[in-house]
A = this chain, B = another copy of it.
Amino acid sequence: MTESAYRTIRLHALGDILREHRRSRRNFRALVEGDVCYTYEQFDVRVNRLANLLRAKGMRKGERLLWMGQNSHRLLECLLAAAKLGAICCPANWRMSESEMAAVIEDFAPHVIIWQEAEVGDTVRAARGKVKDEHCWIQHDSDGPDSYEALLAIQSDRDDEERIEPELPVLAVYTAAFGGRPSAALITHSAVMYQNLIIGRVQGVDESSVNLNSGPMCHIATLMTTLAVFHHGGCNAFIARMNAEDVLKCIEKERVTHAFLPPPTIEQIRAINAEGKYDVSSCWATADAQEYNGNPMVAPASSPWGRNFGGYGQTEVMGMFSMRAFGGSTMAGRPISMVQVRIVDETGQDVPPGETGEIVVRGALVMSGYFDRDRPGEENETRSRDGWHHTNDLGKREEDGSLVFVGPKTTIIKSAAENVYPAEVENCLRTHPAVADVCVIGVPDPKWEQSVKAVVVLRSDASATPEELIEHCKARIASYKKPRFVDFADALPKAGFVVDRKAVDAAFGGGGYPKAH
């Protein structure tokens, strides 16, 4: 009897954080978008109305809400309303094609879909035409009588304060299609809260922080900071999508302290603001502040993140789970305190420091599984083995315990019975002083199935022979992994920021990367 009283008293989930902000920071700014500004009291009132609306639409604990729009304060309201209901909110990627969108709707089976007309409306309508008519659709950017705002206005703002288990999932994020189709990683309240505390410290977030949601909110890299700022009672500002001029205006107007800005946006900002048109001093003390130079998660220069930028992670583990800010000599740093990390071989045994294996992880930041991937042979089985989540990434430990991310495990070359990971061979070649860039492919071999070939871009001021490079590898990695052939190129084709492996493979006689087992 009394044990369960204290069990209930101990429950604390994202909705409870909002409730306490309403008491402790009633008049603090919580949400800012254009001319709209809501305090934490107003935020909580709106979330209560939305929760009551969703409940009136029949949405219950464990059910799902899909956001099909761009960045908006309403997306954070949806996440918090889902949190108060014990439901799950998924911010879909608004850049999907209509068939991708339809596939997500069918896969995620949301009870309610909040959608947007601006920029996304045509695709949404097309996707809607492809799926069964079994969802409740609410448009958020309309002033019609059935719009989000109109429906909210007529709801009660009563908070029934249902106690929510923090082990329930609250956030779903679709991740890379390792299995051929994207899957939604389900993130629990407690994973979000632990990460909020960690990111809050690392990025120097407190109640005075103003975070510009400029990165896409369907990505964990953006959400990590959004949620940490919410958690600490700071202010989240929103722009619908990344746009350098909008970013600059918002930084000046809202005195932004945190943002997500990829290098291309930084370059645009540099160009637009070369003569100081906008006051960005709240974000960067100097125009050449370290984080201005390509750190996509902009945090104060004095924060642990600003001083020791770098980390490693994945969506399935609530974003970064290893960070330089917690020590270590590598870019990935040391694992954070709420997870355990091992480097294992194909049989699940630990490999010694310095040797490459798969990074596996367990602990409080790991997802509670992919949504609806529970059938035999599906992702929830293949990715969870022996009590560890398998990242599908290769890594190694330095002697001092630091983690190194080597590359994806799913891109492999088959040489006889052995799997060769191109990323590992490339990492080895990059340690040669003459190598500027490199891509390793597998060329057909009648005897060994594939042979390893390295396509190398040399530094303009350096030279090396194929034999030298092969010897370099032989001294450092297992002999069967060393390139048998080395070709030279002036540059490698890119897809975005990364090497386009398929194009290299096609141009240099490769046989394709076999599917990883």
Contacts and interface: CB of A to CB of B under 8 A. Distances in A.
Interface in A463-512: none
Residues of A in contact with B, size category: 35 or more
Interface stretch (A127-135, A136-144, A381-389): A381-389
Contacts of A271: none
In terms of DSSP, what is the predominant structure of the interface of chain A?
A: mixed
A268 interface: no
A36 interface: no
Contacts of A3: 368-369, 374, 380
A24 B334 contact: yes
A194 B12 CA distance: 11
A57 interface: no
A271 to B, nearest CB: 37
Interface in A166-208: 166-167, 188, 190-191, 193-194, 196-198, 200-201, 206-208
A340 interface: yes
A9 B12 CA distance: 21
A23 B342 contact: yes
A192 B430 CA distance: 43
Contacts of A340: 12, 16, 19-20, 23
A20 B341 contact: yes
Nearest to A5: B384
Contact of A10 (B1, B366, B374, B401): B366
Contacts of A7: 167, 368
Nearest to A360: B9
Question: Which of A8, A20, A367 lies at the interface centre, i.e. has the most chain B CB atoms within 10 A of its CB?
Answer: A20
Contacts of A255: none
Contacts of A401: 23-26
Contacts of A24: 328, 334-335, 341, 401-402
A68 to B, nearest CB: 27
Contacts of A232: 326, 337
A357 interface: no
Interface string A308-323: 0000000000000000
Interface string A57-79: 00000000000000000000000
A156 B173 CA distance: 44
A2 interface: yes
B207 A326 contact: yes
Nearest to A2: B380
B2 A374 contact: yes
A24 B340 CA distance: 9
B335 A397 contact: no
Interface string A27-53: 100000000000000000000000000
Nearest to A26: B401
Interface of A: 1-3, 5-12, 16-17, 19-20, 23-27, 163, 166-167, 188, 190-191, 193-194, 196-198, 200-201, 206-208, 231-233, 326-328, 334-335, 337-342, 362-364, 366-369, 373-374, 378, 380-381, 384, 387-389, 397, 400-402
15 contacts: A1-B374, A2-B380, A3-B368, A3-B369, A6-B366, A6-B384, A9-B363, A10-B364, A10-B366, A17-B337, A24-B401, A163-B387, A166-B364, A206-B326, A207-B327
Interface pairs A-B: 10 shortest CB-CB: A2-B380, A24-B401, A12-B363, A6-B369, A12-B364, A5-B384, A201-B201, A197-B197, A20-B340, A9-B362
Given A10-B188, A12-B339, A208-B327, 4 more contacts: A3-B380, A9-B389, A10-B363, A24-B335
